[in-house]
Structure 1
């Protein structure tokens, strides 16, 4: 804080006074009331200038002048002056906060990818994205990060959102099953250092490298194409190969899937053995982008690798290419694809297996 005349005068100059005005006003604060000549001597303002300086201070409301043999001056309205200075200080404080906020605000980069410098910025964005989720959340979290996001995740579960958690960190700190039951559909444990990843509704991505990384940055993406790449990173590296820590998925119909490829992997044995499967598909028309809902019977499935179900279950990577369900409806057969479907009539966002006969 300013403690001497020069420092106080310098601050007053920043508040809008000229150097002579600031010096004269500081001197007058010490003098209380004095003649113009005395003020000039105490402040170092040249005698020829002191009269103009005092009249300018009077016009600004800092002092009032009066005649007493010669021109005198005294401080005018101290409360108004201090209120004005306080208001200026508040504006400077606001400007300081605004500078910091704008600096930390995600900066637009190539496409829809934004780079930020603080983990907290990415984390807060992830929380907001989860709070607005309507379909699916995929997240890679430490137990501590899960605790901070638990209310938002639990609210998403209440809205019917499919929530998948890949947990990493201290195994002894993993949440209990009863805690996870209210906050996720399924959770797996990965005993390796992992990045912070949150994917929401196939379009929003929040990413920060793991704590052992030499790189300190975060990425926020609002773009389906970028999110699709990270979806496969999540599926192949953070999810599919790790043991289930908790699952709240039903084993009997109705069973709901947020991804066609996971659905296809589960249903393929029943389809190949001649079972009859009835499904409801929520999604969008690939030609118009309009939301749609179809109900019917699965008559066939196809995917690029066509690996057999004999022996061990295939990994989700076996379905990474084109994957399609053919559903017979009252209006004819409809080809249903997964995330990024192009050649099918419908891109599925949610598939509910209503019955298997």
Structure 2
């Protein structure tokens, strides 16, 4: 990278052109007098002391007091790590401020929906969902696209995965995953739309695959909205998974407990595999007053239809409560997080 490019990038982090030039010069010279920096960099003598003083305040230069006074560049690795940390903190603070502002005005979380342009960008977004999901990953896609996600999928052993595809056989890299439930899709073309969903945080959707992967005229849709994603999850199960043939069960006993899940239909899908009478904890809200609650007990039964999905829990104090998922309106509790033991 040439010096002009370095100076431009340093200016993005709040340094002036002269400050950037002085820091680069000190990296070349090592501890130096102000006059040496002036001579090497071309910064006017009338400006050099102010420039070096400003660099010291910003953490780029150490002042070595003595006669003569020397200025030493702070190790670039230390400088860049500090800048990285400050930048991430600023971005997170700004993000929270924007979200709080939107929620204060509209009374709900900020929905985010984008159109993604290009096939490679779509792959990157799908991989991001798989990498960033904390608890569960739901995928419905042709095996041709699933292969593109192999590396990201193989690295996740700490999140439950439910994958629907037009499998001809189960590949070894999926067969050995204890945390995956696999299903073979039906033959109807509408079953081959692609959904990649991570928790209630992110979802990606597109229709048919392009014939030429290099084509830029390919679009997918990316969403970050809990209300929207809860509908996507409902469609994932009722349209895709429930109309497919399960070909691999979860190896529940080999998984670390508790298993944390975010969708009621995923909870019931696991219970169908392992049976009820399991210890469970639920964090959610009472439907009657929206007060947040945490309950624990055992699962007595579940109800699962295209329209409803809920579980009945006998709590530790003997109370029986019906728990649904996000958007529940018929149950006692709207479950947000489920911990299965």
Q: Is the Cα contact below 8 Å between 2:182 and 2:249 reproduced in 1?
A: yes
> What secondary structure is seen at the aligned counterpart in 2 of 1:228?
helix
TM-superposed deviation, 1:264:
4.8
- What is residue 116 of structure 1 aligned with on the other side? 116
- What is residue 202 of structure 1 aligned with on the other side? 200
- What is residue 245 of structure 1 aligned with on the other side? 247
1:163 aligns with 2:158: no
1:176 to 168, 171, 175: 171
- What is residue 325 of structure 1 aligned with on the other side? 312
TM-superposed deviation, 1:183:
7.6
Mind listing any 5+ residue stretches in structure 2 that lack a counterpart? 1-109, 212-216
What is the 5 A alignment of 1:93-104? none
Mind listing any 5+ residue stretches in structure 1 that lack a counterpart? 1-109, 304-315
Q: 1:131 to 1:282 in 2, by over 3 A?
A: farther
Q: Is the Cα contact below 8 Å between 1:280 and 1:351 reproduced in 2?
A: yes
> What secondary structure is seen at the aligned counterpart in 2 of 1:134?
coil
> What secondary structure is seen at the aligned counterpart in 1 of 2:281?
strand
Q: Which has the larger radius of gyration?
A: 1
Cα distance in 1, alignment partners of residues 129 and 224 from structure 2: 10
1:228 aligns with 2:230: yes
Cα distance in 1, alignment partners of residues 264 and 338 from structure 2: 8
Cα distance in 2, alignment partners of residues 199 and 251 from structure 1: 25
- What is residue 186 of structure 1 aligned with on the other side? 181
Per the normalisation by structure 2, the TM-score is 0.52
Cα distance in 1, alignment partners of residues 277 and 307 from structure 2: 23
- What is residue 280 of structure 1 aligned with on the other side? 280
- What is residue 35 of structure 1 aligned with on the other side? none
Cα distance in 1, alignment partners of residues 315 and 218 from structure 2: 51
Q: 1:195 to 1:300 in 2, by over 3 A?
A: closer
Q: Is the Cα contact below 8 Å between 2:123 and 2:149 reproduced in 1?
A: no
Task: Map Cα deviations across residues 58-78 of structure 1 (whole Å, 9 max, x no partner).
Answer: xxxxxxxxxxxxxxxxxxxxx
Per the normalisation by structure 1, the TM-score is 0.50
Q: 1:251 to 1:183 in 2, by over 3 A?
A: closer
Q: Is the Cα contact below 8 Å between 1:138 and 1:163 reproduced in 2?
A: yes
Cα distance in 2, alignment partners of residues 184 and 251 from structure 1: 10
1:260 to 257, 261, 264: 264
